[in-house]
Structure formats: structure tokens, C-alpha cells
Structure 1
Amino acid sequence: MSEPRIRTATLDDVHPVLAFWKEAAEGTSITDDVDGVTRLIERDPQALILAELDGLLVGSVIAGYDGWRCSLYRLAVLPAHRRQGLAGALLRAAEDRFAAVGGRRADAMVLESNERAQHAWTSAGYVRETRWRRWVKSFR
């Protein structure tokens, strides 16, 4: 396997990222659309981190930082490319970004039903926080 190219997304990546998530990511979000991904890239150009192998989009993670919290979303790798270190490379890039802006702890959103993802996060050194629950409200 050649070395992955880790880079931040551009507006040219919006449609490829959405197609990639349909194939590689678990679950869906209200913001999984052109408008949502476009707004993410325009608001925080460093947040959406991609992994490519020979020009093929094979991985993603959103490393959001709002000045207070470091949040991780959409860590995904194409099924045919899993267990090759791509998730680790993406997480290192996200953690480097957080460290550069003064972040002190990263939080990850992981589906309860996604045991494979829970194992990946545990392997990367993340610990499940059992004291908190997520509360949501959609307004569109």
C-alpha cells in the first residue's frame, strides 16, 4: 500500500465526500447534504480532514474546534481499506490540529450500535464517557 495523503477538504470535495459517507460511514445526520458540508468547509476550512490513496478518497474525519471544545465526527474508512492504519493517521492529523489551537481533550460521537467503531476508538486510546448523554433538538 502506498502512503496515504492526508489533507483538508475543499469545496471541490463536497459531492465526493457525501458519496464516500454513503459507502463508508455508519448512520446519517441532518447535515449530510451539500449545504451542510459546504457550510462546514466555509466556516472552518481545517475541520474536514481526508485521506486519499492514489487519488481515491478512502477516509475522513471531522475535527471541529469552536474555541472551547474539540469534537470528532465522521471517522470513516472505505471497507476495503480498513485495518491498514488509515483511521489512526486521520486521528493523528485531527489531534495535531487540536494541539496547535490549544485544545486539551477531544470528544468523539460514536453510535451505540457500532461495535466496530467502538473498538477502533478504544484502540486509538479513547475512553467511553458514561456520565454524559447527548441531548438533541432539530430545528429544521
Structure 2
Amino acid sequence: MLDRNPDSDPDCHSDHSSDHRLDHCPEHYIDQDAMLQSAEQASLFLKSLANRDRLLLLCQLTEGEASVSDLEQRTGIGQPSLSQQLGVLRREGLIAPRRAGKQVFYRLADPRVEALLGQLYELFCRPQGPDEQPDETIGDVK
């Protein structure tokens, strides 16, 4: 992660005593084009996850490969919605199919999915201890 305080970076050899703007330190220069490109990629990635059914399917697939019928049973998502959401995830490259006879099995195809779902689990799904209260304001529109 980029340290936004150049004075605290022991590897920065520039004198920042008079000006703390990062664009004056080559070691801390933020390439705006690269940042825009990364933001666009992140936005597209998050859009592909921004659906309750797709999140449920991906959560199931973090436990390993599953058939379409298994996913339908475990998530309660019926046809044709299940096929539609699996199609979106497949087109986005987040899951990959494997055909075995008449059955189709799916697995996660993008390692970023499991990493992000782990964070989402910690924020939204992790069982709360007796002294912890879930944050019920997240997502509330007032």
C-alpha cells in the first residue's frame, strides 16, 4: 500500500521539509493513468459481484466445485434465474464450467473472487461474539 506521508517513508530520499505534495517525490509519484485504469477494472469487477444471487453462488463455489443442481438446491435460486446468473459469472470470467456427461459443474476461475469474498464474510457474515453487535446501518438508505 502506498504510504501517503513521504516524511514517514525511510526509503524516500527527497527533502520534504518545505513541500509535502507527493508529485514532487519520484518515489511517491502516483501515475494517474494507471490509477484510472485500475479504478475502471475494480469498478467492472465489483459490478459483476453486485447481485445477491451471484454472491450466493460465488460463496457456495468457495467451498469447491459444484453442479448446477447442487447450486440450485443449496442456494434456493430457481431456474431460469440460476442459469442467467451463472451465465453472467461465466462471461465475466469469474467461474469456469466443466461438463461431465449431461451435468455441468462450476468452479471459481478468478482468485480475486475468493479473496474479496473472504473480506465480505468478515464484514457481513462472520458470527458475532456475545459482546459484538452487527452493524445494521450498512446499506440502509435514510
Return the TM-score normalized by structure 2.
Answer: 0.25
Greater share of residues in helix: 2
Greater share of residues in strand: 1
Q: Which has the larger radius of gyration?
A: 2
- Bigger relative contact order, structure 1 or 2 (CA pairs below 8 A, ≥6 apart): 1
